Amino acid sequence: MEILAFGVQSDEKPLIEKAFAGKHEVRCLDVFLNRDTAPIAAGYEIVSTSVNADLGGAVLQALAAGGTQLIAQRSTGFNNIDLDVAERLALRVARVSYYSPYSVAEFAWTLAMAANRRVIRAASRTRDFDFRLDGLLGRDMHGRTVGVIGTGKIGEAFTRIAHGFGMKLLGWDVAENPACVELGMRYVDKEQLLAEADLVSLHVPLLPATHHLIDKDALALMKDDAILVNSSRGGLIDTSALVVELRAGRFLGVGLDVYEAEAGLFFLDKSLEGVDDDTLARLVTFPNVIVTSHQAYYTEDAVGQIIDATVKNVDDYLAGRRSENVLVPARPGA
């Protein structure tokens, strides 16, 4: 069985090939799956995709027409997949339901502290041998208040780090996490969290109910000198509203590893092209904003676990087994 893997990064390719060695052949492509590239999958029963793949109705129809029966996505999130269409087309869809939460939690803290201590500005200056401290004043995290929106596995890992800093812990979620409560977290409504937190970090999935969870009203509730971090999904923040607030001089710092219009941009080299996304172009000009390219998950540990889970999803499909990773059965009702 030969498997076609889309959107494979250069660091990821040898890990994928090693994981499938002795079991299946795997063809790794650096292009992402979308309407233009979907025809490449013709004749492949199993296709593996990355988090930024376009798995809308048109792409799914093209895959099904080409004989694809299993889509094994190498991510936890699946907001890019039209599951209703997949089920109607009798496509089996599997994801990775778990990988190291520390990868994302630690990176979220990297963004928070880089924004707080002006690390990007400082590093840029010293490259020019400018060693002034003007404009680099940060603040201690100890004793300040962190607001964690979403306290699942990643949110819990983020909270444990915040507890290590000696911060006051506020949480918001549909259900309380006992481990976070044990650390001293106090669960409050979203409005109170936003109003009281010095640092707000987002760790909820992107669903219809969470789309633009941080909109203009939510941003208005936050402290003028707060730090906002998003390492989950770009669509959680109304980016246009965020730009308005930034132009007004608000927020000590903003760290974004995700962006709501990142498809077609992130994971690609656009350095020699003109990017026509005016909102993103404006975002990266603010000195208190850090934008990274959806890399929070990108550690050896997490990527290894993602690939191992993907191999297992393929093995389960071929053996006719179901697991918690399956989002859509091979046949409706199966």
Q: For the segment 95-116, what is each residue's pLDDT rounded down to a tens digit?
A: 999 999 999 999 999 999 999 9
326-328 and 92-94 as β-strands: parallel, antiparallel, unpaired? antiparallel
pLDDT of 273 reads 85
Average pLDDT for 5-29:
95
Among all chains, which residue has been given the structure tokens 């099904």?
Answer: 64
Q: In terms of pLDDT, which residue wins out, 161 or 331?
A: 161
pLDDT in tens, 261-319: 998 889 888 888 878 899 999 999 999 999 999 999 999 999 999 999 999 999 999 99
Q: Quick one: pLDDT at residue 58?
A: 96
Asked if residue 186 lies in contact with residue 163, where contact means CB atoms within 8 angstroms, the answer is no
CB atoms within 10 A of CB 301: 12
Is 262 annotated in the active site? yes
Q: Residue 331's pLDDT is what?
A: 41
pLDDT tens-digit profile of 313-322? 999 999 999 9
Catalytic residue among 233, 245, 260, 300: 233
Number of H helices, E strands in the chain: 12, 13
What pLDDT does 333 receive? Answer: 41
Q: How far is CA 260 from CA 195, 228, 247, in A?
A: 24, 15, 19
Integer Cα distance of 214 and 208 in angstroms? 13
Residue 175: both structure tokens together: 């259900």
Catalytic residue among 294, 321, 322, 324, which?
A: 294
Query: Residue 98 corresponds to which tokens in the numbers above?
Result: 């778990």
Here the tokens at position 97 are 């339901």
What's residue 270's pLDDT? Answer: 86
The strand pairing partners of 290, in sequence order, are 255
- Cα distance between residue 83 and residue 97, in whole Å: 16
> Is-catalytic flag, 233?
yes
135 closest CA partner among 154, 149, 121: 121
Residue 184 clears pLDDT 70, i.e. is over it: yes
Per-residue pLDDT tens digits for 145-175: 999 999 999 999 999 999 999 999 999 999 9
Choose the weakest-confidence range: 50-64, 68-82, 189-203, 265-279.
265-279
Alpha-carbon distance 105 to 159, whole Å? 9
Token representation of residue 4: 């076609």
Give the C-alpha separation, 99 to 76, whole Å.
8
Whole-model pTM? Answer: 0.90
Examine the residue annotation and report whether 331 is marked as an active-site residue of this protein. Answer: no
Among residues 12, 87, 260, 262, which one is catalytic?
Answer: 262
The structure tokens listed for 94 are 């599997």
Query: For residue 330, what pLDDT is reported?
Result: 46
Percent of the chain residues topping a pLDDT of 90: 91
pLDDT averaged over every residue in the chain = 95
